[in-house]
Amino acid sequence: MFSDASASNGRGRQQRFDCEWRFHSVYHRLHGFRKCHSCSGSVSHTFTIQNFGATPLALTGTPKVAISGQGAADFTVTLNPASPVVVGGSTTFTVRFKPSKPANRTATISIANSTAGENPFTFTIKGIGTGTEINIRSKGISIPDGDTTPSLSDGTDFGTQKLKTKISHIFTIQNLGNTSLNLTGSPKVSVSGPGAADFTIDAFPSSPVAPSGSTTFTVGFFPTGGGLRKAILSIANNDANENPYTFAIQGTGDAPEISVKGKGVVISNGDVTPSLADNTDFGFVTSKNDTVLHIFTIENLGTRPLNLTGTPKVSFVNVNKAGVDFSIVSTTGQPNCAWRFDKLHNRI
């Protein structure tokens, strides 16, 4: 229990505001919540307000117990005191510490009241969040967990690279916490996404990473085709709220890259399953004199001009009666632009 200097209530007696912490003795008014595992655990302490004065003690604040300071967000009043407090009586309030990061956290309790000399009544509380805190950087810039916007400035965009040549970027994994960071994946860094085949992990990070320590890994970009190649890096770890740690990477192959669409839907190279959705299925035609025209678009998604080198530019292969049932009606466009061609289907 502790008390501060008394203040006269004007009637020859003194009204004192006392606050008692039920668990531990007070030391220099710094109340410790001890250690709590960051992001997953919590600790609650109950405090007692006593009225040793001669008149009822009113708690006049809204809220009755306010918390401020650098670590205020990690402390919550879960049970508020009652007011007024009768002469010789007491009331309690409870504060919960739930750390958001592994670090020392401090805050100030403030209780506005009706005493003349102790309003507001304040004291400091503290707690220590324990755990790991992963952070990944490249080129001196932190890359947020879940980042989906690759950038040249933080090394997540590998820029434009000639086909079948490699460029490598180094990434640093930091442990900003106060317990060991374990990289739990196998492999420790994995690559996924549509362009994953064009990215390689050339050097893996070490594990565990000591508190305040770091390790690095190297990613190579080796484009096998033209255009934008995208992938996701994923690092499984024992951070309580950033597992796995993921972010997007990308690079551009310096070459032409052909794409063919029907009805705005991309048709995969080598596709053998015609579909109405992408115009590759022409449906039923009842008369041999009827025709169905479908338009297809050739796009160049690369960084170099796309030349259509065939004669004719569009031809049929491995199709029964191709010369009878299908024909190219027209082709329009120029290299490095969107091309259009039509197919004529004349079903018997």
| Tens digit of each residue's pLDDT, the chain (348 residues) | 323 333 333 333 334 444 443 322 222 233 455 555 555 578 999 999 999 999 999 999 999 999 999 999 999 999 999 999 999 999 999 999 999 888 889 999 999 999 988 999 999 999 988 889 999 999 999 999 999 999 999 999 999 999 989 999 999 999 999 999 999 999 999 999 999 999 999 999 999 999 999 999 999 999 998 899 999 999 999 998 899 999 999 999 988 888 899 999 999 999 999 999 998 888 877 766 677 888 899 988 877 888 888 888 888 776 555 455 677 777 666 444 444 444 444 443
pLDDT score, position 287: 65
pLDDT score, position 255: 83
pLDDT score, position 37: 56
pLDDT score, position 17: 46
pTM > 0.75: yes or no? no
Domains, the chain, with CATH or none = 2-130 (2.60.40.10), 134-254 (2.60.40.10), 258-345 (no CATH)
Interatomic CA distance for residues 128 and 38, integer angstroms? 8
Interatomic CA distance for residues 222 and 231, integer angstroms? 13
Q: What is the largest CA-CA distance in the chain?
A: 116
Which residues contact residue 28 at a Cβ distance below 8 angstroms, ignoring those fewer than 6 apart? none
CA-to-CA dists, residue 88 to 21, 55, 111, 143, 299, angstroms: 17, 9, 19, 57, 85
pLDDT score, position 302: 78
The torsion angles phi and psi of 22, rounded to 5 degrees, stand at: -75, -20
pLDDT score, position 346: 41
Do residues 257 and 302 make contact, with C-beta atoms less than 8 angstroms apart? yes
